[in-house]
Structure 1
Amino acid sequence: MKRTISWMSGMMLLATPGLALAADEPTVKDAIQAVDTVWVLVAAVLVFLMQAGFALLEAGATRMKNAGHIAGKNVLSFAIVTLVFWAVGFAISFGQGNNYIGMSGWFLNVAEDKVNDIFASLSFSSVPLGAKFLFQVVFAGVSLAIMWGGIAERAKLIVYFVFGTLFTAIIYPVIAHWVWGGGWLSTLGMQDFAGSTVVHLQGGVAALVGAILLGPRIGKYNKDGTANVILGHNTVYSVLGVIILWFGWFGFNAGSTLMANGVFFPYVAMTTNLAAAAGAVAALLTAWVVLRKPDIGYMLNGVLAALVAITASCAFVKPWAAVVIGALAGIFMVISVLFFDRILRIDDPVGAFSVHGMAGIWGTLSTGFFAAPDLVQKLGVGQPGLFYGGGWHQLGIQFLGIAVSFAFVFVASFLILYAIKVTVGLRISREEEIIGLDVSEHGVSGYPEQLPHGGDYHPGSNMEFRPTHLA
């Protein structure tokens, strides 16, 4: 057994040459750092793969005339996030500053011996700065990807550039600093292990604002206010997307340990999986009761809502509580989707706010109920939950964090999106929406064989488009 560990440690060191060259003979500390680094990079890749999950989920849940655009914008979105987060977002999130904003570490231009001083909030992990950045940038990418679901099928491409840049530069990193970067909510002891608020609530609130300002898709609501169901074009895509997201979430939550040392990450992976399973079953059964049919779409969103909810609490709660949290998230999601769709008449094509916003709220609150004393002591963050005799204190901190985060993101997103609306415009024209974003924005369809003339389109041509072919 000892020989196996020694061999594995040596291989890890070869995978990180900087460590192997640091000394003639690797130390135990070097081996631990190497293993931690490999784990964090693997987790970052898993979270990056979630972009493929979002692409398949959203493309499948919307109409074929928009499929190429919706899938492709995930690549554009992540590219924008990577550049902006490298330049300013990471520094604002985790750099030394004050209780409200980081003010150092721009462009990651930090001397090696100053890294733990500049990014003190991440100094608990010994992995190199590059690994920490990669892990955090994929989180920012997920948060922005959530937003696009709320504005799907009707937003101009320019919105992705402008809002994507500003969200990554001045919205997402501020909340990240408050909760994870040594800011004031961190000081109060807010518990959000992997980002129910920092990642998911932010993306969900931005999606809600976008859906409100854009208005519903053509044909979504009748004159009497009743809602029409606009079906997605490929349920199989959506199923595959959710499976990929579920798979990636093991990196999302378990990777947030930022270390393999201590072997706590398998516990986090276990609670994550239990919650997701409970959410799938609970959402399907709830939809079956409410809608009289076991709707697959609600089951898929139940998985995601449960994963969002357990993201804050995965390291703080016992397995039984993870099941409860996931199941309730699935139930709340179904109710929320129907409420926003039929009562408030807000057209959110993929249920982005219900899945990520409402579930993010519940997940963040859940630690105030279920945080176990031994796990709280192990992590050293906050206090035990109400059901363990911890009183109302932690629940109050969780509620405060949700309230201020919601307000900040809502107001900031509204100001940015409204400014876009009155300048270059948020929404494509009615004709472009009927044609579809694939053709109107990019000049090529994701399914050209389904279009008249085989999808051969040239801007300015006299080609006649018939919406019946494109729905």
Structure 2
Amino acid sequence: MDVSWEESVADSINTIYLLFSAYLVFVMQLGFAMLCAGSVRAKNAMNIMLTNVVDAVVGSISYYVFGFAFAFGEGSNSNPFIGTYFFALKDIPNSTYDYSFFLYQWAFAIAVAGITSGSIAERTQFSAYLIFSFFLTGFVYPIVAHWVWSSSGWLSPSSSDMLFGSGAIDFAGSGVVHLVGGIAGLWGALIEGPRAGRFDAFGKPVPMRGHNATLVVLGTFLLWFGWFGFNPGSFDKILVPYTTTSDQGNWTAIGRTAVTTTLAGSTAGLVTLFGRRLLVGHWDALDVCNGLLGGFVAITSGCSVVEPWAAIICGFVSAWVLIGLNITALKLKFDDPLEATQLHGGCGAWGLIFTGLFAKEEFVIQAYDSGESGVSRPYGLFMGGGWALVGAQVIEVLAIVGWVSATMGPLFYALHKLKILRISVDEEMAGLDISSHGGYAYTSHAEESQPRFYADYARLQDQS
């Protein structure tokens, strides 16, 4: 089939845009690494950085061999629940574009394991990271991606048989990425239990602040930068003209999506700044960073289908969701060093519900029907669109929580029973860097701690 010059140029631009977005999303791995490194104690810095590298390299193999096929495969074994069993790129006809699409989706997939790693930081055996990262990236996450993002998925807003005539709108993954990672982290942290010394004999929390606020802030800004690939980049083809106009297309919505992303995150950061000031009596940069990220997580679902003013509401509520869940976690003696469960799980769930309340019909048609005239779709309840979209969003939340709990919960429990999940108390007190990696991440820290270093190391060697 001959392709015109205009079509060839459009395909080239679409491919370049998609690859550039994939690179931005991949930069988020650097953001996760810096955020995680700064949020843990110095004696565990090398370990947490290594787990971030492992999430990427293990995820690359598992997503290529299994994950992409489960998520987007359309072979003879394809169905609305588990996709296809074939190798990822075996039968894809348009290799140029689809290789780019694979890379973009891979960047999303490896982010999920990074979220979960934060929940179980500072007390997990390295071998357990290898196992759960492979399973989460290669099977658990891709199934959810298939449900929502594949055209044959049962929750997809682009399928031929949409749930409630709507399908669930999760444009860039508040549920598919963040809620999946958050619920997986919830089960890991619950089964492992809190870090040694996190709560005193009376059950009161003992502060265990990260060792480097500079890295946390750096990681937050890198994540913000990467989110411009995460959300606007989910318009995977920039040159798709709307069918009712000659001068509009996806590019008209891409800028708006970047704006809604920015406003939601900024609002959440600002509300967290003053909210935490009222609660604890001082300004806290680290709380603001997490609040900012919570706003980004929440808007990720509806970034393309809501007005900028609605994004501000999204960010405002997400800040209080995060603050409230953090207070609840402490009361329940739940220990998540990076607040990943509360941030990605809680704000991700709120983002899905928010979309069901505030999605604008015009923008829904733009995002999912190329602006076609005469099309009617369910849209936000508060915008006059009825209950159909809200119902689909609630179903997505319940389906993700159920699926991830049914898969990752038993996996973490099995690792716990096999005694390969959590390190010993002595190893935890000495630090994962010395017990698992042979030394500290910082030379100055090692020099200051040399007597303890050798004493701890000798005790561990005697025990082994």
Q: Which residue of 2 is the match for residue 66 of structure 1?
A: 44
| 8 Å contact from structure 1 (residues 445, 455) kept in 2 | no
Distance 1:452 1:178 in 2: 52
Distance 2:329 2:281 in 1: 19
1:400-451 residue CA offsets vs partner (Å, 9 max, x unmatched): 1101111110121111111111124210111111111111111021013223
- d(CA) in 2 for partners of 1:374, 1:223: 57
Q: Which residue of the other structure, out of 385, 398, 406, is the alignment partner of 2:380? A: 385
1:134 Cα offset (Å): 0.4
Residue 416 of structure 2 is aligned to residue 414 of structure 1: no
Partner of 1:206: 184
**One-letter amino acid of the counterpart of residue 325, structure 2:** S
After superposition, where does 1:392-403 map in structure 2 within 5 Å?
392-403=387-398
Tell whether 2:283 aligns with 1:294.
yes
Q: How does 1:420-431 map to 2 (within 5 A)?
A: 420-431=415-426
What percent of counterpart residues are identical? 36
Establish whether residue 140 from structure 1 lines up as the match of residue 109 from structure 2: yes
Aligned pairs, number: 430
1:174 equivalent in alignment to 2:143 = yes
How many angstroms apart in 2 are the aligned matches of 1:427 and 1:421? 7
Per the TM alignment, residue 165 of structure 1 is displaced from its structure 2 partner at its CA by 1.1
Q: Match of 1:101? A: 82
**Equivalent in the alignment of 1:3:** none
Shift of 1:169: 2.1
Question: CA separation in 2, counterparts of 1:286 and 1:404?
Answer: 32
Alpha-carbon distance in 1 for matches of 2:23, 2:13: 16
The amino acid of 2:269's aligned partner reads A
Question: How far apart in 2 are the matches of 1:436 and 1:271?
Answer: 41
Are 2:435 and 2:457, in contact at CA under 8 Å, matched by a contact in 1?
no
The one-letter code of the counterpart of 1:245 is: L
**Equivalent residues in 2 for 1:322-401, closer than 5 Å:** 322-341=311-330, 343-380=331-368, 383-401=378-396
* CA distance, structure 2, for counterparts of residue 111 and residue 353 of structure 1: 36
* 2:73–2:88 contact (8 Å) kept in structure 1: no
Q: Which residue does the alignment assign to 1:8? A: none
- Look up the match of 1:315: 304
How far, CA to CA, are the matches of 2:91 and 2:4 in structure 1? Answer: 26
The alpha carbon displacement at 1:227 in A equals 0.8
Q: Are 2:57 and 1:76 equivalent residues in the alignment?
A: no
Partner Cα separation in structure 2 for residue 195 and residue 378 of structure 1: 18
1:158 equivalent among 127, 151, 156: 127
Gaps of 5+ in 2: 157-161, 240-248, 370-376
Cα contact 1:305–1:330 (8 A) shared by 2:
yes
Deviation at 1:292, TM superposition (A): 1.8
Distance 1:73 1:388, change over 3 A: same
Task: Measure the CA separation in 2 of the matches of 1:27 and 1:455.
Answer: 67
Confirm or deny that 1:231 pairs with 2:209.
yes
How far apart, in 1, do the equivalents of 2:92 and 2:382 lie? 46
Sort the Cα spacing of 1:34 and 1:347 in 2 relative to 1 into closer, same or farther, 3 A: same
Note if contact 2:66-2:85 (Cα within 8 Å) is conserved in structure 1. Answer: no
Query: Does 1:185 find its partner at 2:155?
Result: yes
- Distance in 2 (alpha carbons) for counterparts of 1:171 and 1:137: 14
Contact 1:444 1:455 in 2 (8 A): no
Question: Residue 100 of structure 1 aligns to a residue in which SS?
Answer: coil
Equivalent residue, structure 1, for 2:262: 273
User: In 1, are the aligned partners of 2:355 and 2:380 still within 8 Å (CA)?
Assistant: yes
Structure 1 residue 376, shift from structure 2 partner: 1.3
Alpha-carbon deviations, 1:163-199, whole Å to 9, x = none?
1111122211111111111211113210000000000
Report the Cα offset of residue 107 of structure 1: 3.5
Change (3 A) 1:459 1:292: closer
AA aligned opposite 2:111: V
Partners in 2 of 1:396 and 1:279 — Cα distance?
Answer: 26
Contact 2:439 2:446 in 1 (8 A): no
Aligned to 2:437: 442
Partner Cα distance (1:460, 1:380) in 2: 59
For 1:450 and 1:296, the matched residues in 2 are separated by 24
**Aligned partners of 1:92 and 1:104 also within 8 Å:** yes
Displaced runs of 4+ in structure 1, greater than 6 A?
A: 456-461
The alpha carbon displacement at 1:463 in A equals 7.8
Is the counterpart of residue 433 in structure 1 residue 433 in structure 2? no
- Equivalent position SS for 2:29: helix
Residue 4 of structure 1 corresponds to which residue in structure 2? none
Question: Is 1:308–1:360's contact at 8 Å kept on the other side of the alignment?
Answer: yes
Conserved in 2, the CA contact under 8 Å of 1:171 and 1:412? yes
Task: Decide which of 8, 17, 28 is 2:6's aligned counterpart.
Answer: 28
Contact 2:353–2:394 at 8 Å: present in 1 too?
A: yes
The answer to whether the 8 Å contact 1:57/1:237 transfers is yes
Q: What is the match of residue 39 of structure 1?
A: 17
SS at match of 1:224: coil
Give the counterpart letter for 2:72 in structure 1.
F
Q: Distance in 1 between matches of 2:85 and 2:138?
A: 14
Alpha-carbon offset, residue 62 of structure 1: 1.0
- Could you say which residue in structure 2 is the equivalent of 1:53? 31
CA–CA separation in structure 2 for the residues paired with 1:324 and 1:337: 20
User: What CA deviation, in whole Å up to 9, does each residue of 1:238-296 have, x standing for no partner?
Assistant: 00000000000000001100022131322211111111111110111111112222222
State the AA in 2 paired with 1:162: I
CA distance in 1, matches of 2:365, 2:28: 31
**Could you say if the C-alpha distance between residues 154 and 39 of structure 1 is closer, same or farther in structure 2, counting changes exceeding 3 Å?**
same
CA contact (8 A) 1:448 1:454 kept: no
Q: C-alpha displacement at 1:462, in angstroms?
A: 3.8
TM-score normalised over the length of structure 2: 0.89
Paired residues of 1:443 and 1:458 also in contact (CA < 8 A): no
State the match for 2:196 in structure 1: 218
Q: Give, in angstroms, the shift of residue 455 of structure 1.
A: 5.4
- Whether the 8 Å CA contact 2:434–2:457 is kept in 1: the answer is no
Distance 1:455-1:140 versus aligned 2 partners, 3 A rule:
farther
- CA–CA distance in structure 1, aligned partners of residues 347 and 6 of structure 2: 42
